């Protein structure tokens, strides 16, 4: 299969984790006889520094004409602490989501045995945790009208949703629930917000078309609490843009490392795949970032293309690396592996179709540790 992928490495650790994802794509090409063409583009602070814009129209057109977009991370501290700055890296990501009509962000949350000791939750709280968050991505307060008074003393952000915006992502969440444990939780603030009441009405009306799905309604403050107290009680979580941003980051802590969480953003045409973590500028250039979230996002990309064997091979290779303790310093402080070595060995495991043995005394030397 031939595909064209636009690669937007972005800022901070973005280029480092993307480099490992590219190794995996090339390994899958070799092993499964595919040809994925990778073309680079700029976004975020790197784009501002080069073009003056967080995302150019030229890059948007490239993304529209591609089969998928692979994104690293966006953000730079030099833009964070000055509220007077008008052009910011994050504007590029919002612009891209809107241009590609990526209305559905899907974030699976899984736990791994090796990470249970790293998670801030007790082990018994993590048993059976397997949930997926469907976050609406192109509406709500992030995209609503923004106002600042002339004297600078009053500001407002409009949160707006239409029935169509709610129903199209709710449909995806219901369909996912049908294939999983047939449970869907709508997270809202319907006791306060008119937009949340619209969400609840639309989901209630749609529930009649999915009689086998048990629908639960939960206020966002309670949902945040229950994600800590009883995370295994959730299966498919559906929510609006801001609530989804916050609750998915909260849920990410369950795994013990934000560096393990992939995501996909889907819409009408092109899918985008990216790790859930930020640009982590403190680690940039040090070869210590965890590339597994980005690599698992690549697995979601292969699912998107219907290449399920390839996706399974990637996930099995990540699981192998975890079991062999080929992990970065966010997971272990005892003999962590560099980011580049993790990428090398996962890619090699794919190429060798799992037939790999390690000499752990030489694991920092990458493939020199292969027996």
Q: What is the CATH number of the domain that holds 346?
A: 3.40.718.10
b/e map 82-100, b = 16+ CB within 10 Å: eeeeeebbebbbbbbbbbb
What gap in Å lies between CA 334 and CA 336, rounded to an integer?
6
Tokens representing 216 are: 């639960």
Catalytic site residue 201?
no
Catalytic site residue 245?
yes
Is 238 in the same domain as 129? yes
Is 193 in the same domain as 74? no
Cβ pair 358, 371 in contact under 8 A:
yes
Q: Which of 6, 66, 65 is nearest to 40 (CA)?
A: 6
pLDDT tens over the chain, length 371 residues: 999 999 999 999 999 999 999 999 999 999 999 999 999 999 999 999 999 999 999 999 999 999 999 999 999 998 887 777 889 999 999 999 999 999 999 999 988 877 777 787 777 888 889 999 999 999 999 999 999 999 999 999 999 999 999 999 999 999 999 999 999 999 999 999 999 999 999 999 999 999 999 999 999 999 999 999 999 999 999 999 999 999 998 888 888 888 999 999 999 889 999 999 999 999 999 999 999 999 999 999 999 999 999 999 999 999 999 999 999 999 988 889 999 999 999 999 999 988 888 766 555 655 555 55
Q: Which of 224, 225, 181, 188 is nearest to 203 (CA)?
A: 188
Which residue out of 67, 188, 245, 330 is catalytically annotated?
A: 245
Q: Answer whether residue 113 is part of any domain.
A: no
Q: Which of 107, 106, 44, 41 is nearest to 76 (CA)?
A: 44
Please name the residues in contact with 135: beta carbons below 8 A apart, sequence gap of 6 or more. Answer: 104, 105, 106, 107, 239, 240, 241, 243, 244, 245, 248
Is the pTM above the cut of 0.75? Answer: yes
Is 154 in the same domain as 205? yes
Which residue out of 249, 287, 304, 348 is catalytically annotated?
A: 249
The DSSP result for 243-271, as a single string, is: HHHHHHHHHHGGGS-GGG-EEEEE-SS-E
b/e map 207-224, b = 16+ CB within 10 Å: beebeebebeebbbeebb
Is 244 in the same domain as 128? yes
Which residue out of 112, 189, 235, 330 is catalytically annotated?
A: 189
Phi, psi of 51, rounded to the nearest 5 degrees: -115, -15
Cβ pair 101, 271 in contact under 8 A:
no
Domain of residue 300, residue span: 1-105+257-371
Catalytic site residue 80?
no
Catalytic site residue 103?
no
Q: Answer whether residue 164 is part of any domain.
A: yes
Is 7 in the same domain as 97? yes
Which residue out of 142, 161, 280, 302 is catalytically annotated?
A: 142
Which residue out of 113, 205, 221, 309 is catalytically annotated?
A: 221
Picking from 220, 255, 290, the residue at the C-terminal end of a domain is: 255
Catalytic site residue 62?
no
């Amino acid at each position: 299969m031939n595909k064209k992928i636009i690669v937007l490495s972005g800022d901070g650790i973005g280029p480092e984790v993307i480099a490992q994802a590219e190794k995996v794509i090339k390994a899958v090409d070799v092993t499964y006889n595919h040809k994925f063409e990778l073309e680079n583009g700029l976004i975020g602070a790197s784009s501002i520094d080069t073009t003056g814009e967080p995302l150019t129209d030229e890059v948007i057109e490239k993304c529209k004409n591609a089969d998928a977009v692979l994104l690293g991370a966006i953000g730079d501290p030099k833009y964070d602490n000055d509220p007077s700055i008008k052009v910011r890296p994050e504007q590029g990501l919002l612009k891209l989501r809107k241009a590609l009509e990526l209305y559905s962000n899907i974030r699976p949350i899984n736990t791994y045995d090796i990470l249970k000791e790293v998670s801030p939750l007790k082990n018994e709280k993590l048993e059976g945790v397997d949930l997926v968050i469907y976050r609406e991505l192109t509406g709500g307060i992030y995209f609503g009208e923004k106002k600042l008074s002339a004297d600078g003393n009053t500001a407002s952000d409009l949160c707006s949703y239409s029935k169509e915006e709610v129903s199209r992502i709710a449909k995806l969440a219901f369909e996912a629930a049908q294939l999983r444990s047939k449970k869907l939780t709508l997270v809202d603030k319907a006791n306060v917000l008119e937009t949340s009441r619209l969400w609840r009405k639309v989901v209630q009306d749609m529930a009649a078309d999915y009689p086998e799905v048990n629908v639960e309604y939960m206020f966002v403050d309670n949902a945040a609490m229950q994600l800590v107290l009883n995370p295994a009680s959730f299966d498919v979580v559906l929510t609006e843009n801001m609530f989804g941003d916050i609750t998915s980051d909260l849920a990410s802590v369950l795994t013990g490392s934000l560096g393990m969480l992939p995501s996909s953003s889907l819409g009408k045409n092109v899918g985008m795949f990216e790790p859930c973590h930020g640009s982590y500028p403190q680690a940039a250039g040090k070869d210590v970032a965890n590339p597994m979230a980005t690599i698992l996002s690549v697995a979601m990309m292969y699912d998107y293309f219907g290449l399920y064997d390839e996706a399974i091979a990637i996930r099995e290779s990540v699981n192998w690396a975890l079991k062999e303790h080929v992990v970065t310093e966010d997971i272990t402080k005892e003999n962590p592996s560099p980011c580049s070595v993790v990428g090398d060995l996962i890619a090699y495991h794919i190429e060798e179709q799992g037939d790999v043995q390690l000499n752990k005394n030489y694991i920092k030397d990458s493939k020199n540790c292969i027996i």
